[in-house]
Amino acid sequence: MLPWVVRRTRLPLLVLRCVACPSGRATVGDGRFRVNANGKLLDVWLLVNCVACDRTGKLTVHDRVPVRSLDAGLLAGYSGNSPSLVARALLDPAAARRNRYSLDWDGCWELVAPPVPESPWPVRITVAFDDPVPLRPEGLISLGLGVGRDEVARRIKIDIPPNRRTRQDFSFLLM
Ligand SMILES: [Zn+2]
């Protein structure tokens, strides 16, 4: 069994309409939260900037939640702009739905694929997604093996549709 890994090289852009210009992309940049306390209620936003005009927008992370419902460590992470919390907030599918954006992963990920050994043969290759990058298996396998898609189609056995995007771990048999 040979493990391949898909992982991000940087945070993806957001596909998000700008209210000030025709750009459809925004970035979290270095990642900044804004925390606002209103009595016992707390709002937490993740700030994003338009890649064209730099206009700042806000993504809702927490909307009027009781201060006490947020763990102190979590709150400190938001106040300190913790990079792992920035990634978690941006990549959270629920946040994407609530704030109506999708992610543009172009140029933001890599495939770590060790060379295929000569034997034993055939070899089973597992693909693990460290980050939820939606990818077509056939394109990914073509990249990992360094061969064209026709050859991929001839040489692999796979249990999921090879041309439908997935971000779930899968495996295939290389013959
Ligand atoms: Zn703009």
Q: Ligand 1 centroid to 161 CA: how many Å? A: 38
Q: Ligand 1 centroid to 52 CA: how many Å? A: 5
CA quadruple 4, 156, 139, 14: dihedral, nearest 10: -50
Instruction: List Cβ neighbours of 39 (8 Å cut-off, separation of 6 or more).
Output: none
Beta strands in the chain (DSSP E): 2-8, 13-15, 25-38, 41-50, 56-66, 102-104, 109-112, 123-129, 156-158, 170-174
Q: Ligand 1 centroid to 13 CA: how many Å? A: 13
Tokens 């925004």 found at:
26
Q: Ligand 1 centroid to 26 CA: how many Å? A: 8
Q: Say what the pTM is.
A: 0.85
Q: Ligand 1 centroid to 133 CA: how many Å? A: 25
Distances (CA, A) of 53 to 24, 27, 49: 11, 11, 8
Reported as a single tens digit per residue, the pLDDT across 109-163 is 999 999 888 877 899 999 999 999 999 999 999 999 999 999 999 999 999 999 9
Reported as a single tens digit per residue, the pLDDT across 22-31 is 999 999 999 9
Domain ranges of the chain: 2-7+107-174, 17-100
Rounded Cα distance, 153 and 148, in Å: 9
Reported as a single tens digit per residue, the pLDDT across 30-69 is 999 999 998 899 999 999 999 999 999 999 999 999 999 9
